[in-house]
Structure formats: C-alpha cells, structure tokens
Structure 1
Amino acid sequence: MDGLVLGRRIRYYRKERGLTLEALSERTGLLPSRLSLIENGKREPKLSVLQQLADAFEVDLTEMLSGTPPDERSRLEIDVERAQRSPAYEALGLPHLASVKTLPDEVLTVLRGLHRELDRRVIESTATPEEARRANTELRLTMRERNNAMPEIDAAADQLLSRVDHTRGALSHHHVAEMAKHLGFTLIYVDDLPGSTRSITDLENGRIYLPPASIPGGHGLRAMALQAMAHRVLGHRRPTDYADFLRQRLEINYFAASCLMPLDRSVAFLQDAKDRRDMAVEDFRDAFGVTHEAAALRMTNLLTEHLGISLHMLRVDGDGAISRVYENDGLPLPVDVTGSIEGQFLCRKFSARQAFANRNRTTETYQYTDTPAGTFWCSTQTGTTAQETFSITIGVPFDEARWFRGRNTKARAVSTCPDDEQCCRAPEAAQAERWTNRVWPSARVHARTFSPLPTGDFPGVDQREVFEFLERHDAGSREEA
C-alpha cells in the first residue's frame, strides 16, 4: 500500500467527518502524534490499526485501502511530495517544503507542472543510445555479480503462488487469474490495446487489460499478466530515468519467470537432470509449459546460484547481431566502447549462428567451440516469428558439458574472435585482391540505428492512446453496470 495515498485517504475521512486528531484519538485509542505520522505517510500502520480506523470512520476496510487519492487536492499534494523525493530534485540541492497542505491549489498545480517538466528534461537528456547502452551494461554487470539471481523476487513469487492451489505442472490461466484476484485485479482480454503497449493496468478500477490469445493456449498471456501484477507486488513507482525503466523491466520479467517456473520445483528438476547427466533446455521448457527462451533465461537464474555451474545465454538475430546476452563463464564476446554487447555481431563460427544453416530446426544443435578463453560447449535452438529469425543458445565451459545432453557431439569449431579479424570478418586474401576498389555495395542500415530512445512517463508508450483507451472501456463498464 502506498503510504502517501493511504495517509491522505485517512485524513480525508477524518476531515469529512469533522474530526480533529484528538477526537479521532479518543475514538481509536491511538496517540494523535501517531495518527499524524500515518496521515503524512511516515508510519506504516498494522492491519489491526487500519481496521480500528475503518471502524471509527464507519467505512469498509477495502474502501479505505483503495489505491487512488480520495480527491484532486490530495492528488496534488501527493504528486508534489513525491516529486520532492525524486533524484532529479535532490540533485538540485534545494530545500524541501516542510508541508504542502497549507498551499493553495494553484500553487500546487504550478509546482507539479514544474517537477514534471524537470523530470521530462532529465529523461530526455539521458535518453540517448549511448546512455541506454551504458545503463544496460551496468545492469548486466550487476546481475552477473549476483549470478543473475534475485532471491527476494523468488520469495515474492512464492508468496503469491501460495495463495492458489498450484503444486505441479504448468501454471494455468485459471491460477494466474486467481493470483490477480488476490491482488485486487481482474484480467480482461480486449482487441483494441494501443499499439505501443503490451498490457494496461487500470489501478483505479482494478483491471488488467491484455490482448486476446494469438495462438491456441495463449501461453504468452500468462507472462504478460504476471508482469503487469509484478509492478504492484514489487512496489514499483513511475521510472525516474531510463536506467530505472530497464531495472523495472528486468524485475517484472524475473517475477513472471519465478511464478511460471517456481524456485524449489525448478531447482529440484534441474538437480535431478544434472544427477542423470541429462540436462536440456527443451526438457525444462516442456516441464513448465514455457517458451524455449524463457526456460533458457530461467536457467541463468538458477544454475550458478543453486547448482554451481557457470554459463552463458545468447539470443542472436538472423543477421548475427546479439540481441540478448548473459554470461559469467568468460565466453569472449564483442563489445563496443560503452562496454555493451547487445547489437554487436557474434562470430560466424559459434553455434548460435551455425544453427541457422540447419534444415531441421526442430532439434537442438550441439557444438564445441575452441576460443582464446578456452573451449565452450553450446546447445542452440532456432525459431522464427513473423518479423524475424533468431537463435537461443545455452552454453558452458568444457568441464561443465558433462552434465548436459548433447555433450557427445563431434561438431567442433575454432574461433579467434573478437580480436582477430582474420577469423570470420576479413575477406580471404585472393578475394580481397580481386575485388578491392572494384565494388561499391549499398549498405542496408538498420532503422534502429537512428531511432531515438522512447521517452515519456513510461518510455515508448503513447500516453494519449492509453488514456483514450481507458476512457472508452471505463464508459463501456459504466453502461454495463
């Protein structure tokens, strides 16, 4: 529960009933000073205290715990107080307003507008491709230090899962809907979501809007719903900058994976496979009813932290560019001047690119690759969407391959990338001699090279379309009622 919103709702009920802090104290037995701290969002009350207050106001507890401010004045006060706690404001070194409740509405409106413009300019000034790559690199390095594990999020997922009767097999849509209900949400599937969104959460009315299933079973919708719920479970606030936005995205993806592939059951499954020396991404994927990529990513959360296996995971586009990466096993990968790996081209000799040449893409491709940093074993699966072809790779150092299916492969390659251009980037000498200065190819430049980073309260989201969508569906709900 947001302490500022809760405090303003309590103050609203108190004043609406004409009560002073002292009068409310007499009704509840709570000290006026304690009540003041609660109203100012500086003290988190226990559930028993909240029930006492609800009884004193003669309102239902769930109504008092609504996550929206009780009126526009309260919303203004909350926005200004919250803005004063932002890193952008603190960086200015300006004093904090001790109290905003005595300021006129017009002053609060101006202050809120100034804070929003300050935040917008801060985000705009940092929303460059270089800053995004730096932020992404810092996040990746931080996660590598943690073995890509977030035990606090695993615990939060387990706690929510305990509210539904889910003990084995894949997490069903019914279970996901029950989890949403426990958090006060209803899942609604619509076919008119704005193109810039994957889901929309209506906090005021407790609705999570999702697209209709595009394939039978609609397994991807479970992850979307869980990601939307994660923002509430993890206590996220509006992103303060692009780095904060990336961190939140990582956390909600981790939370969804923790729900779909619960910690204890996942570790037990992988430990059993390791004991049998038959670990495989495809088995892990099928056991929990998730995508190959989701299973591979979840293995990065678990193998090092719980089974002591270092590894790497790669998603590579059909043109050879790395779009997603995690590694803590020393695999040599290309980096740019910011330290970013994403967007760089992987060596042609790695299985992540060799697999594209395979005609049979229903089975995994296994390969050993000798590199300047040692020999690595990899397992690669390719996939195709309407927009792209890609590969998903899980790999480990040579000594760790003994735990995996496919370790007996005879396929082997030698890569001297990324430092040696002669490995796969430089043309052969005879070809270079024949064609240098005799050809002028027209390069195909990726649109993403020039695309500005998305900005706004929620980067990449068209806010006008979102608000129009909410107005449309809110009106429809009122008509049905």
Structure 2
Amino acid sequence: MTPTQLELSTLGHRIRHERVSHGYTLDELGELVGVAGSQLSLIENGKREPKLSLLQAIAQATGVEVTELLSSEPPNRRAALEIELEKAQSSTVFRQLGIAPVKVTKGMSDETIESILGMHRELQRREREAIATPEEARRANTELRLRMRAVDNYLPDIEKLAEKQLKAAGHVSGALTHRTVSIMADQLGFELIYVSDLPRSTRSITDLENGRIYLPPASIPGGHGLRSMALQAMAHRLLGHRRPTDYADFLQQRLEINYYAACCLMPETASVAFLQQAKKERDLAVEDFRDAFGVTHEAAGMRLTNLATHHLGIRLHFMRVDGAGAINRVYENDDLPLPIDVTGAVDGQIACRNFSARQAFSEQNRTTEHYQYTDTPAGTYWDSSQTGTTADGEFSITVGVPFDDARWFRGRETQNRAVSTCPDESCCRRAPAQSTERWQGKAWPSARVHMQMFTPLPRGAFPGVDDNDVYAFLDRHA
C-alpha cells in the first residue's frame, strides 16, 4: 500500500466514523453535502479522493474541523485494525501466495480481524527471517562479485575513511597495534572487552547501549584476527549500517566492513608506496607485502586486489581453494577462465587440476611459494600459490596475473608450466582412456557425503545468529 492509499483509507474511516456517530446513512449525508450516497461510499472505502470543497462540506455537516478529518490517526481501534489488514493484504509477500484477500464486513468481530492479522505478522516475520533461498544467496553473491569487478575491487570512500580514523588515532607507520585499535574504538565511544563465552554463532557482539565490543580472548594464537574483528565491528557504526533487509544487503555490509578492516591494517598510502617501490624493483611478492604489515597471506593477497589495478595498472586474480579443489573465495578482473555454474556463481566450483592453486598441494616444501605459468584458452597466466592448513583441512592462496605482467613479480623465472583447457572435460575431469578401459565397471567407491549439502541456508537478518544466545550473553555482561 502506498502512502497515498494509506492516507485515503484513514480519511475514509474518519469520515465513516463521524457519519455513523451522527446517525446519518450514506444517502442522508450525501444529500447534505450534495453528492450521491454511492459516491460517498467510494470515498469511505478509500477508493476515491474527495475534493477539498466536499471535505469542507462533510466537516460542516458533522460538526468537526477539516484538519480532524485529515488526521493520520485512525478514529478508533476497529478502524486501526481494518487499515492494518488492508495494508497487510496489499503487501508483496501476501500477493505472492495467490490467495484472495479477506473482505471485512460489519458482522466480522475485532477478534477475527486480530487473528488474521496475527497470521500476516507471522508471515512477515518468517519472510524477514528466511532472508534468502540458496539460489538467491548465490545470485546475490555473484552480483556483488561482478559489481566489485566493475570497479576493480577498489572503494575510494572507505579508503579515505580508514586513513582519517588512523590519523585521528595517531597511527603513522608500521603494523597496526592492538593499542591503536583500542584508541580507535574509544574515539567512537566503545570499549573492547575480551570474553570466553561469546555465542558460537558470532565472531563479535556490539552492545550499542553500553558502548562495548565483545571479542574472543586475546590469547588466540597470532592475534591479528582480533584487530580485524574489532575494526569490522567499528565499521558497522562508521558506515551507518542498519539491520540488513535481505541477503544482498547482508553481503554488501560484510564486504564493506572487511574492506574497512583491510584498509586500516594495510593503509592505502603506505601500501601503495610499498607496492610501487617493489614494482620499480621488479620484485612484487605477496609474502613481502604480508610481512611488512603483519597480516595473513590471504589478507595481503586480497588487499593487493584492491590496489594493484587502480594504482599499479595491473589486472590480476585471487583464489582461495580447499584441499578438494573447491573455490572458497575468488576475484578476477584479468579474464582468467574460471568454472561457473548456471547462476553465474564461481564460489564452490572445482578449480582445474592444472591450475597453480591445486598444483601447489603437491609441493614437498610447503614453506615456500609455488610459482607456475599456465596456458589457458584465454592466454597464459603466471601464478604464485601458498598453502596452509586449518582445522577444516588444507587450503591454498593464489595471486596471479596475465603473462605480460609477470615481469613485475618475484618468481617469474620459474620453469613450472602447465596447460589447462577447462571447461573441456578432457582437460582434467575425464579419466584417461587407458585407465577408463582398465577399471570402468570394476570399481565401487564409497562416496564421502558432504554434509553441507543438507544444511539449510542460515536464517535471520544476521544469517545463522541465534538471537536467544546473543540476548542471553548481553544479559550476563550488562
């Protein structure tokens, strides 16, 4: 229901209320104000907008002011219920059900209308909670990836905001310390508190009422993740985020807070100066960029995607791939041929076995980066891959560029070379003819079930977060 329709409905109810309270029928009031009763009925039902002269006549006939008729407040509880029901039955959520709306009659009790409204409210609540179907989520993620590709993964407004906040906190150079992060929080009116009982579904919780940001214990190995989590929590406030309205909004907010945290941990001015010097020396390396700012290899690789195209004129790609070959995270603006499903999504797809991202797992010495040239249908690419291990298993981080830009990077002299013709099935997905002939029909593997296939998409405006746990946590620490 548009605001105009809502106003007309309220106006109609107020006119009917005054007519009935004075004991007039439609025809009787119509005769007094010079219109047919049927015309007055259309006005009372919110289907026709009355002229000001008619409103003045109705006001005079019923002994009220025109301003009283035009009030946005329903004249009584019954009118309020009918207006709310009319609004609910005109919503997109209800119309999608294909169910005929309930027609309110004089004989329908208030309790009946309230019961129907209760169902509409629950329908709206569930719609807000079930923020997206898996397919909608994948499409939203794909749309966000394409939008970021169009701007070369660079968000200048957030870059400037981060530099401003760092300057205000007195940060000049070097790795961002926990103390400086605490100062940044304090300047926003927040205190960082480290607790051991955060709900499992959360990474941090911000108590807006008491100005507290709750984080996991500071004793977590490495500690760099705590700086990032605190900065992300602050970013919601700095960027003026409101409760996500849909999954696309949630993803956009997550991207922005991650981007802000990266800008603080690796400030644009210092990072660009470092990268430009390394390019001048033809010695660009993710590991050096990582160590200069005290972040993870993955964070440094992703930060390079923010700055390399805009400041260095280098197009590139980034991939995080798990031990099974599935792409967990990806960015490219250099036309690297990536596996894509029917929705346009890349995340979750299996990377070519011949890509550096997967070849790196076969390296005996995992402490050094794996360098490789790969010939693809779109041209030749140079890649640098680093492997790692978490509780969830192995993963690799890859940053790569088209052949011509390899000259700026350390490791360009590598003799490792591979050929990828994916998505051609014969590249790496179809078993060699000799093996197929030898074993087809003679093998019966027992497949490992990937339980995530059966896991529903997390519900809620903040997907997967249990409000009960969050509110109970805040009650304990209030």
Match of 2:425 among 413, 421, 426: 421
Partner of residue 300, structure 1: 305
- Check conservation: 1:197, 1:461, Cα contact below 8 A: yes
Shift of 1:116: 7.6
- Check conservation: 1:154, 1:258, Cα contact below 8 A: yes
**Residue identity matched to 1:223:** S
- Tell me if 1:393 matches 2:384: no
Partner of residue 464, structure 2: 460
**Residue identity matched to 1:462:** D
- The DSSP-based 3-state class of the residue aligned with 1:362 is coil
Shift of 1:164: 1.0
Partner of residue 186, structure 2: 181
State the superposition RMSD in angstroms. Answer: 2.2
Partner of residue 224, structure 1: 229
Question: What's the CA shift string for 1:256-310, capped at 9, x where partnerless?
Answer: 0001011111111101100110000000000111000000000000001111100
- Check conservation: 1:186, 1:208, Cα contact below 8 A: yes
Shift of 1:122: 4.8
CA distance in 2, matches of 1:339, 1:275: 37
Shift of 1:319: 0.6
Partner of residue 73, structure 1: none
Shift of 1:214: 4.5
Partner of residue 236, structure 1: 241
Shift of 1:442: 2.2
Q: CA distance change for structure 1 residues 384 and 270 in 2, over 3 Å: closer, same or farther?
A: same
Runs of at least 5 residues in structure 2 that lack an aligned partner in the other structure: 1-89, 96-115
**Residue identity matched to 1:331:** L
Question: What's the CA shift string for 1:216-242, capped at 9, x where partnerless?
Answer: 551110000000000000000001011
Shift of 1:435: 1.8
- The DSSP-based 3-state class of the residue aligned with 2:441 is coil
Match of 2:348 among 331, 343, 346: 343
Partner of residue 154, structure 1: 159
- Check conservation: 2:128, 2:460, Cα contact below 8 A: no
Match of 1:284 among 283, 289, 313: 289
Choose 111-120 or 322-331, whichever is displaced more: 111-120
- Check conservation: 1:123, 1:242, Cα contact below 8 A: no
Shift of 1:439: 2.2
Once the two structures are aligned, what percentage of the paired residues are identical?
A: 68
- Tell me if 1:274 matches 2:279: yes
CA distance in 1, matches of 2:469, 2:119: 21
- Check conservation: 2:246, 2:461, Cα contact below 8 A: no
- The DSSP-based 3-state class of the residue aligned with 1:348 is coil
Question: What's the CA shift string for 1:176-209, capped at 9, x where partnerless?
Answer: 0000000000000000101000000000000000
CA distance in 1, matches of 2:125, 2:338: 36
CA distance in 1, matches of 2:259, 2:94: 34
- Check conservation: 1:119, 1:240, Cα contact below 8 A: no
**Residue identity matched to 1:150:** L
Match of 2:377 among 372, 388, 406: 372
Shift of 1:362: 1.0
Question: What's the CA shift string for 1:425-472, capped at 9, x where partnerless?
Answer: 101112111222222222222111221111113111011011111001
Partner of residue 120, structure 1: 126
Question: What's the CA shift string for 1:345-398, capped at 9, x where partnerless?
Answer: 111111100111112111111000000100000000001112221000000000
CA distance in 2, matches of 1:342, 1:89: 34
- The DSSP-based 3-state class of the residue aligned with 1:162 is helix
Output aligned runs, 1:255-266, within 5 Å: 255-266=260-271
Output aligned runs, 1:352-371, within 5 Å: 352-371=357-376
Q: How many residues align?
A: 371
Q: CA distance change for structure 1 residues 396 and 132 in 2, over 3 Å: closer, same or farther?
A: same
CA distance in 1, matches of 2:219, 2:438: 51
CA distance in 2, matches of 1:274, 1:178: 34
**Residue identity matched to 1:250:** L
Match of 1:407 among 407, 412, 416: 412
- Check conservation: 2:128, 2:461, Cα contact below 8 A: no
CA distance in 2, matches of 1:444, 1:214: 35
Q: CA distance change for structure 1 residues 211 and 435 in 2, over 3 Å: closer, same or farther?
A: same
Q: Which has the larger radius of gyration?
A: 2
Choose 212-221 or 133-142, whichever is displaced more: 212-221
Shift of 1:92: 8.4
CA distance in 2, matches of 1:221, 1:130: 32
Match of 1:444 among 441, 448, 472: 448
- The DSSP-based 3-state class of the residue aligned with 1:168 is coil
Output aligned runs, 1:33-182, within 5 Å: 117-118=123-124, 120-122=126-128, 124=130, 127-182=132-187
Partner of residue 329, structure 1: 334
Match of 2:387 among 382, 391, 396: 382
Q: CA distance change for structure 1 residues 287 and 277 in 2, over 3 Å: closer, same or farther?
A: same
- The DSSP-based 3-state class of the residue aligned with 1:201 is strand
- The DSSP-based 3-state class of the residue aligned with 1:375 is strand
